[in-house]
Amino acid sequence: MANNILVFIEQRNGQIKKASLEAISSAAEIAQKLSYKVNGVTIGNDINDLQSLSNYGLEQITHYKNSNLENYSPTAYTEITSKAITEYDGDIIFFSNTSLGKDLAPRIAAKFDAGIAIDCISLEISGNEIIAQRPVFAGKALVEVKVNSPKKIFTLRPNVFKVKTNSANNTEVKTVNVDNPNLATKVIEVKKSEGKLDVAEADIIVSGGRGLKGPEHFHLVEELARALGAASGASRAVVDAGWRPHSEQVGQTGKTVSPSLYVALGISGAIQHLAGMRSSKYIVAINKDKDAPIFQVADYGIVGDLFEIVPALIEEIKKIKS
């Protein structure tokens, strides 16, 4: 045992992801409890503000740099991360449970024959071991998992672990230029959904369901989302009906989310939907059916006509924000 934690730090467009700040904060805390060392690895071209990561408790961050590594390449990222794990002799490796992390972490697990715990929502130390808690069945149940192989891999659900800086400001940032990365599988283009926040990353989500009666009324969801600085989401019923794109679907065959605030408009709360959003910190439901299951998980509810209530809510939010 080398007693080293290594954190994969993810960048998109040269910006460090917030989920990575959560992962390094959590790794530093665990490293302290286990008396491990903790280092970071990041891959990309120019990365902004790497120096700003110097007060999270990491000893060193290695930035593997090449102009062809700005976007994700599964082959190149797998090879480079594997190399970093070997160089740092990492026995515990953290990733964020993002679309990139979920793609990369298992490849590393296969390479090192390492056990992997995906989408962890809590990491506790018991004895000298990490006990991970993770949701299964989209959150209808939770399991506790321990990894027994020499190398152990964890992916951490975004928006769950707290970002914590350290008083010491002493992380060394090292840049290594990569020659000829293996680009056998590579991203050739990134298509952004214009100006839209993604439900998987948003701190506030406003979702709409069948109660909106038709796609033409979804502007209410979008306007409220805009007023709150939120992402817009949707129930499976309206995605299956073709009113909204699948990327907005919250629930068991969509995205499992845990924002600070989830506002459900005209959503009755089918079991697969509740599974995907019940871990939100606060839930607001507006629905005309007082017996709708959504009210069983809602912190605050208004039983009434959303076509009357939502415009008033949008105005009220705009008023307090201005």
Partner 1 sequence: MKIAVCISHVPDTAAKINIGSDGKSIDPSGVSFVVNPYDEFAIEEALKTKEKLGGETVAISLGSEASKETLRKALAMGIDNAVLLKDDSYRDSLSVAKALAEEIKNQNAELVFFGKQSVDYDNSITGQLTAELLGYHCISVVVSFTLDGNKIVAEREIEGGKEVVETVLPAVITAQKGLNDPRYASLKGIMAAKKKVIEEKTIAAAVNHTELLGMKKPPLKQAGKIIGNDASAVPELVRLLREEAKVI
Give, as ranges, the residues between 72 and 101 that touch partner 1 (CB under 8 A): 72, 74-75, 78, 98-100
Which amino acid would we find at residue 221?
A: V
Angle at alpha carbon of residue 209, lines to 204 and 212, rounded to 5°:
110
Only one of the segments 28-36, 59-67, 132-140, 166-174 lies at the binding site for partner 1 (rule: CB under 8 A); that segment is 132-140
59/198 with CB nearer partner 1: 198
Of 93, 129, 95, 124, which Cα lies nearest the Cα of 6?
93
Q: What is the CA radius of gyration of the chain?
A: 21
Q: Which of 6, 7, 43, 138 binds partner 1 (CB under 8 A)?
A: 138
Footprint of partner 1 on 249-308 (CB under 8 A): 249, 251-254, 256, 260-261, 270-272, 275, 278-279, 281-284, 290, 295-305, 308
Per CB under 8 A, the list member of 48, 49, 67, 137 interacting with partner 1 is 137
Q: Which residue stretch of 27-35, 44-52, 54-62, 242-250 sits at the interface with partner 1 (rule: CB under 8 A)? A: 242-250
Cβ closer to partner 1: 110 or 168?
110
DSSP letter at 211 equals G
In whole angstroms, what is the distance from residue 13 CA to residue 171 CA?
A: 23
CA–CA gap between residue 57 and residue 140 (Å, rounded): 35
- Indicate whether 106 belongs to the interface with partner 1 (CB under 8 A): yes
Output 173 or 197, the one with its CB closest to partner 1: 197
CB of 54 vs partner 1, minimal distance in Å? 26
Applying CB under 8 A, which of residues 68, 149, 169, 170 lies at the interface with partner 1? 149
Distances (CA, A) of 5 to 12, 122, 164: 23, 17, 17
Q: How would you classify the pairing of strands 122-126 and 129-136?
A: antiparallel
Q: Taking CB under 8 A as the criterion, which residues in 182-241 touch partner 1?
A: 184-193, 196-198, 200-201, 204, 228
Using rule CB under 8 A, residue 146 touches partner 1 = yes
Cβ-based neighbours of 96, under 8 Å, separated by 6 or more = 8, 10, 17, 19, 20, 22, 23, 155, 156, 158
Number of residues located near partner 1, criterion CB under 8 A: 97
- What contacts 12, CB < 8 A, 6 or more positions away? none
Task: Pick from 60, 115, 173, 215 the residue near partner 1 by CB under 8 A.
Answer: 115
